């Protein structure tokens, strides 16, 4: 058992948590907090029981923290409670704005491609292709 092995177990745990959470600044923030928590809890357990197997102590720490799925569920729940109807309205507004911008870009790009002398592409055909790219 080495400190590298311990670091690997911690890294694996944090990766599992990260996989079940949506990516973002807040997730990174929480992962950092979990890492600090693990280090402190582990050092504390080692001080309390210096003769115990360190891997076992680390497993205890991770078990006390909970399954990544449990943390993710609580995180999602907290986020849902924070997002009221205003947040939904804001999200819809930005979706509409994004769609409108995509439309304008697609029309301009289709017009440009259709005016190229050697392209041989019709405006509507180019528009459909650019819209598909924009919506993807």
Partner 1 sequence: MKKTPSFEDSWKVEIRRGILQYAVLAIVSRHKEEGIHGYGLARELDEKTDGLLGVKEGTLYPILHRLRKERLLNVRTEKSEAGPVRKVYVLTGDGDRVYRELTSILGSIFDKLEALR
What is the Cα–Cα distance from 21 to 27, expressed in whole angstroms? 7
Count residues contacting partner 1 (CB under 8 A)? 29
> Percentages helix, strand, coil for the chain, rounded to the nearest 5?
85, 0, 15
Q: Which of 1, 8, 28, 36 binds partner 1 (CB under 8 A)?
A: 36
Q: Which of 6, 9, 20, 65 binds partner 1 (CB under 8 A)?
A: 65
Nearer Cβ to partner 1, position 35 or 102? 35
What tokens does 18 get?
């990260």
75 binds partner 1 (CB under 8 A): yes
Closest approach of partner 1 to the CB of residue 75, in Å: 4
Closest approach of partner 1 to the CB of residue 116, in Å: 51
What is the Cα–Cα distance from 9 to 32, expressed in whole angstroms? 15
What tokens does 65 get?
């923290």
């Amino acid at each position: 058992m080495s400190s590298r092995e311990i670091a690997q177990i911690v890294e694996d745990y944090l990766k599992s948590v990260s996989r079940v959470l949506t990516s973002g600044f807040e997730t990174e923030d929480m992962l950092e907090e979990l890492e600090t928590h693990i280090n402190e809890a582990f050092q504390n357990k080692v001080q309390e029981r210096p003769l115990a197997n360190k891997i076992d102590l680390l497993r205890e720490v991770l078990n006390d923290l909970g399954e990544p799925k449990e943390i993710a569920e609580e995180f999602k729940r907290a986020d849902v409670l924070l997002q009221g109807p205003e947040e939904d309205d804001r999200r819809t507004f930005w979706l509409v704005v994004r769609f409108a911008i995509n439309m304008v870009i697609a029309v301009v790009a289709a017009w440009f491609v259709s005016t190229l002398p050697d392209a041989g592409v019709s405006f509507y055909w180019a528009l459909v292709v650019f819209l598909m790219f924009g919506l993807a």
